[in-house]
Amino acid sequence: MRRLLLLLPFLLMSCTSSEPPVEAGIQSRSFGTLPDGRDVTIYKVTSPTGMVMEVTNYGGIITRLTAPDRDGKFDDIVLGYDNLEGYLEETPYFGAIIGRYGNRIARGQFTLDGETYTLAQNNGENHLHGGIQGFDKVLWNAEPFSMGNEYGIVFTYESPDGEEGYPGTLSARVTYLLTADNRVIFSYQATTDKATPVNLTQHSYFNLAGPSSDSILDHELMLAADHFTPIDAGLIPTGEIRAVTGTPFDFTTATPIGERINADDEQIAFGLGYDHNWVVSDMTSSMRLAARVHEPTSGRVMEVLTEEPGIQFYAGNFLDGTITGKGGNVYEYRSGFCLETQHFPDSPNQSTFPSTILRPGETYQTRTIYAFTTDAD
Ligand code: BGC
């Protein structure tokens, strides 16, 4: 009898759930080789709830991330390619770790401690996302790990002094953890031997409806931000921190992305839609909610929590149907969005923005969480 009582919770669990039990864990397989012959690995991380994250040590790229809809059906919700070759070409940074500097640095130049540094100009005259061979295009060292029934990967990369024009040897460490409550936790760390700007982020593109060429304009977005940083025609911040009230940039209450994306507004014109940095609530470095996205047909909800002061909301304005991605899916105009947690763009040239300079002896440390639920939870 006592034995039956002990077994009861398990018997009940197996009776109430129609899904086969999920085995949480981590598996690896080859993802091909780089042109220089180095092997690339892909890791498949499964959570106890059945979420799957596939991630490669090339660029720390998340190639697949599944999340349940309101009926418990899992779908892949990130954009990307079927194979390594796709990622080796010039890509819009699908799924990758971005560094040393997420977003733009004007004219690829900045002055630090009296010395002027010149970086790669890979976006018109500006420097974007770390340059020509940023952290999205390097092979990281990867170590899988587990914490109880939760699994993840630690990525490390030593960026040599002078890489893409940046000063100092930067030792970067980025951890991805897939939790038992459907969260992906990103922990970023870096140290340097010379002062250098650092602004690491993650560049996954989402379409919460699942694999689809449809636009993300019906997704409803909330941004916990009363201000944003206006830009010029080259997408460089002007230095102003502007209130969102009364503008198409007010997402303090959930609003469909498409509702005002074509508004007659100078900032919308400069960004070709939304491609701006919002100032997250009080600019503290505590972990707090920055964004919430709801996709009405699937019911999927994604929340972004971060310790960063800013978040770039990019509505996929440069996707134009020329990229064929996973499963032959064509990435049409605005069919994916990014929410990139970050320090503000061009901070090395903007003395009023929070500093992005890391000095020897200091440790750069920041965390961001993508949390997945549904409107039925
Ligand atoms: C930027 C866009 C850029 C895109 C690259 C985003 O982070 O904000 O301006 O075009 O990355 O695909």
- Assigned domain for 80 exists: yes
Domain extent, residue 247, equals: 25-374
β partners of residue 159: 170
Residue 21 binned pLDDT confidence (cut-offs 50, 70, 90): low
Rounded CA separation 291/312 (Å) = 10
354 lines ligand 1 (CB under 6 A): no
pTM of the model as a whole: 0.94
- Assigned domain for 328 exists: yes
Residue type, 205: Y
Q: 276: closest CA among 295, 291, 287, 289?
A: 291
> Helix or strand or coil: residue 179?
coil
- Assigned domain for 300 exists: yes
Considering the candidates 203, 227, 294, 343, report the single residue annotated as catalytic.
203
Ligand 1 atom with least separation from CA of 235: 9
Say whether 343 is catalytic: no
Considering the candidates 129, 308, 340, 343, report the single residue annotated as catalytic.
340
Surface-to-core class of residue 114, CB atoms within 10 Å of its CB (0-12 exposed, 13-18 middle, 19+ buried): exposed
Ligand 1 atom with least separation from CA of 275: 8
pLDDT digits (tens, 9 = 90+) for 219-276: 999 999 999 999 999 999 999 999 999 999 999 999 999 999 999 999 999 999 999 9
CATH number of the domain that residue 264 is part of: 2.70.98.10
- Assigned domain for 257 exists: yes
User: Which of 93, 136, 342, 344 for a ligand 1 pocket mutation test, highest count of atoms within 8 Å of Cβ?
Assistant: 93
Q: 152: closest CA among 127, 178, 126?
A: 178
9 or 164: whose pLDDT is higher? 164
Ligand 1 atom with least separation from CA of 314: 8
Taking residues 311-322, report their average pLDDT: 96
R_g of the chain, CA atoms, integer Å? 21
pLDDT of 5 reads 42
Query: Is residue 202 a contact partner of residue 195, using CB atoms and an 8 Å limit?
Result: no
Average pLDDT, the chain: 94
State both tokens at 324. Answer: 């064929």
86 lines ligand 1 (CB under 6 A): no
145 lines ligand 1 (CB under 6 A): no
Q: How far is the CA of 45 from the centre of ligand 1 (A)?
A: 27
Taking residues 49-53, report their average pLDDT: 97
- Assigned domain for 14 exists: no
Residue type, 151: Y
Query: Is residue 276 a contact partner of residue 229, using CB atoms and an 8 Å limit?
Result: yes
pLDDT of 212 reads 83
**Count of structural domains, the chain:** 1
Q: 157: closest CA among 89, 85, 57?
A: 57
- Assigned domain for 323 exists: yes
Q: Which of 7-11, 48-52, 305-309, 359-363 has the lowest mean pLDDT?
A: 7-11
Q: How far is the CA of 52 from the centre of ligand 1 (A)?
A: 26
Indicate whether 8 pLDDT > 70: no
- Assigned domain for 40 exists: yes
Q: Which of 8-17, 84-93, 316-325 has the lowest mean pLDDT?
A: 8-17
State both tokens at 252. Answer: 């303090």
- How far, CA to CA in Å, does 42 sit from each of 59, 79, 173, 186? 11, 16, 18, 18
Query: Is residue 188 a contact partner of residue 200, using CB atoms and an 8 Å limit?
Result: yes
314 lines ligand 1 (CB under 6 A): yes
- Assigned domain for 16 exists: no
Query: Is residue 82 a contact partner of residue 327, using CB atoms and an 8 Å limit?
Result: yes
